[in-house]
Amino acid sequence: MTQSAFTSGVSAGRLSPEDLDANFSDLHAPLDDHTAAVAADRCYFCHDAPCTTACPTDIDIPLFIREISTGMPEAAAKTIFSQNIMGGMCARVCPTETLCEEVCVREVAEGKPVIIGQLQRYATDKLIAKGGHPFARANETGKSVAVVGAGPAGLSCAHRLAMLGHTVTVFDSRAKAGGLNEYGIASYKSTGGFAQAEVAWLLSIGGITVENGTKADLDALQKNFDAVFLGMGLGGVNALRAAGEDLENVTDAVDFIADLRQADDLSKLPIGRRVVVIGGGMTAVDAAVQSKLLGAQEVVMAYRRGKEAMSASEYEQELAASKGVHLVYNAAPVRILGDGAVAGVEFAYTQTVDGKLEQTGETFTVQADQVFKAIGQTLLGAPEGLVIEGGKITVGDTGQTSLAGVWAGGDCASGGDDLTVTAVAEGRDAAEDIHASLMR
């Protein structure tokens, strides 16, 4: 190997293939039967359980854990999938530490929750590995629905519609279905091609056609289908609006993450010796951690507000720190430095005064060969005629937009956090509402 962590600039092959394999393996190794049984035994089977209340998809968590404890992971998986058809991916990517596991009574009492996420993965992996599909379609209704976007919201909606007997066509602009599950999740959370395997398994219910690489036109869809669901996510990226943003090796973190997910050979993926990630969300953490795992010598993740305001959870921040990412709070980028290619970033320290963020006047510079921007995504190319507020399509409780016959859910729509699990819930609920409306 000719390159190393000390090679300056942006370069591929900083680590040996073995180290890369180890770095990008499963964040949590799958539970074996005995470990799962012991972990399941810790569940108290709470009455009206707080974990279920905290789950955006309302999975009956005590029930599925009890089913694991009695040696029936397949029954557990059906309990999960009946509420959340992407329970397999959610088990991997959900910030359980801020959802079910945060309110687990054993977390509250002992600081050691039942490992709900890992148990969910144990159960869902077992059922998917067994092959076949746990749900059957209802009789054909003769109704057709168009779904825009094959991400968690769109696929969840499509699956529920197909189950209810409708015929669904999913349109997606990318080459593969899965949305952020395929292009936007950190590699070590979805190893072994799970995203595509899950999509194939989900589609095996039948009644769903996916058309990749297509741009959908809402007017045409409304004409050709009985209903439309929009789940196209957030296609745009916020600009830094700082000088030097156009310098070479200053890119969007979402593109880096997508490239990484699609790379056949990580040793061919270039990464800077010194990387700066700007932002405080999950995308920033995923980009920063994976930069480190690819062999970057120094990775700084800078966020303009304080630690408590960061949208990445405490757990994710700790994960980043444990992988060697240097987290810097209250640092706003002032300008990107460099001549041709980026050489550094100048930051200003910030503080919050009377609820307003302001710069203290003090600045500092961080050396950088590569800068990833992760300061939020924006809705791009929303069809005309829809009411949009705060950069999101305005929807009602079950996803109805301002246009009759058009529903929306997931990151592109208002309501709920921008989480996989929330998108799945919104897609499912919109499907039920579409069904009720079509069968009226």
Partner 1 sequence: MADLSSNFIGIKSPNPFWLASAPPTDKEYNVRRAFEAGWGGVVWKTLGSEGPPVVNVNGPRYGAIWGADRRLLGLNNIELITDRPLEINLQEMKSVKRDYPDRALIASIMVPCEEEAWRAILPLVEETGADGIELNFGCPHGMAERGMGAAVGQVPEYIEMVTRWCKQYTRMPVIVKLTPNITDIRKPAEAAMRGGADAVSLINTINSITSVDLDNWAPEPSIDGKGAHGGYCGPAVKPIALNMVAEIARSAETANLPISGIGGVTNWRDAAEFMALGAGNVQVCTAVMTYGFKIVQEMIDGLSEWMDSKGISSIDEVVGRAVLNTVDWKDLNLNYIAKAAIDQDLCISCGRCYAACEDTSHQAIAMSEDRVFTVKDEECVACNLCVNVCPVEGCISMNPLAVGETDLRTGKEVVAEHGDWTTHPNNPSCLLA
**The one segment of 31-39, 167-175, 275-283, 301-309 that binds partner 1 by CB under 8 A:** 31-39
**CB 106, min distance to partner 1, A:** 7
Dihedral sign, Cα of residue 40, residue 44, residue 48, residue 49: negative
Decide if residue 38 touches partner 1 (CB under 8 A).
Answer: yes
380 binds partner 1 (CB under 8 A): no
**Which one of 34-42, 76-84, 143-151, 278-286 is the stretch in contact with partner 1 (CB under 8 A)?**
34-42
Query: Does 33 sit near partner 1 (CB under 8 A)?
Result: no
Interface with partner 1 includes 32 (CB under 8 A)? no
Which of 49/299 has CB closer to partner 1?
49
Nearer to partner 1, 71 or 213 (CB): 71
Q: Does 41 bind partner 1 (CB under 8 A)?
A: yes
Residue 37, interface with partner 1 (CB under 8 A)? yes
- Are the beta carbons of 150 and 210 closer than 8 angstroms? yes
Rounded least distance, CB 161 to partner 1, Å:
35
Nearest distance from residue 130's CB to partner 1, in Å? Answer: 17
Separation CA 122–CA 35 (nearest Å):
10
**Smallest distance, Å, CB 57 to partner 1?**
21
Asked if 364 interacts with partner 1 (CB under 8 A), we say no
Q: Exposure of 191 by Cβ count < 10 A (0-12 exposed, 13-18 middle, 19+ buried)?
A: middle
- Between 51 and 161, name the residue whose CB sits nearer to partner 1: 51
Binding mask 105-144 for partner 1 (x = CB under 8 A): xx-xx-----------------------------------
Assess 44 for contact with partner 1 (CB under 8 A). yes
Q: Which stretch binds partner 1 (CB under 8 A): 37-45, 160-168, 210-218, 284-292?
A: 37-45
Give the range of 12-20, 47-55, 203-211, 262-270 binding partner 1 by CB under 8 A: 47-55
Smallest separation (angstroms) from partner 1 to the CB of 47: 3
Dihedral angle, C-alpha 173, 176, 181, 185, nearest 10 °: -90
State both tokens at 330. 């209250």
Closer to partner 1 by Cβ: residue 46 or 63: 46
Q: Total residues contacting partner 1 (rule CB under 8 A)?
A: 17
Q: Interface with partner 1 includes 48 (CB under 8 A)? A: yes
Nearest approach, Cβ of 174 to partner 1 (angstroms)?
44
Q: How far is the CB of 429 from partner 1 (least distance, A)?
A: 24
Does 425 help bind partner 1 (rule: CB under 8 A)? no
Q: Is 220 in the site for partner 1 (CB under 8 A)?
A: no
Are the C-beta atoms of 261 and 183 separated by less than 8 Å?
yes
Compute the least distance from the CB of residue 70 to partner 1, in Å.
Answer: 11
Contact call for residue 387 and partner 1 (CB under 8 A)? no
**Does the footprint of partner 1 cover residue 47 (CB under 8 A)?**
yes
Q: What is the 3-state secondary structure (H, E, C) of the chain?
A: CCCCCCCCCEECCCCCHHHHHHHCCCCCCCCCHHHHHHHHHCCCCCCCCHHHHHCCCCCCHHHHHHHHHCCCHHHHHHHHHHHCCCHHHHHHHCCHHHCHHHHCHHHHHHCCCCCHHHHHHHHHHHHHHHCCCCCCCCCCCCCEEEEECCCHHHHHHHHHHHHCCCEEEEEECCCCCCCHHHHCCCHHHCCCCHHHHHHHHHHCCCCEEEEECCCCCHHHHHHHCCEEEECCCCCEECCCCCECCCCECEEEHHHHHHHHHHCCCHHHCCEECEEEEECCCHHHHHHHHHHHHHCCCEEEEECCCCHHHCCCCHHHHHHHHHCCCEEECCEEEEEEEEECEEEEEEEEEEEEECCEEEEEEEEEEEECCEEEECCCEECCCCCCCCCEECCEECCCCCCECCCCCEEECHHHECCCCCCHHHHHHHHHHHHHHHHHHHCC
Which region among 40-48, 92-100, 122-130, 142-150 touches partner 1 (by CB under 8 A)?
A: 40-48
Nearer to partner 1, 90 or 114 (CB): 114
In this structure, what token pair is assigned to residue 409?
A: 């859910």
CB of 64 to partner 1, least distance (A): 16
Instruction: Point out which residues bind partner 1 (CB under 8 A).
Output: 34, 37-38, 40-41, 44-50, 69, 105-106, 108-109
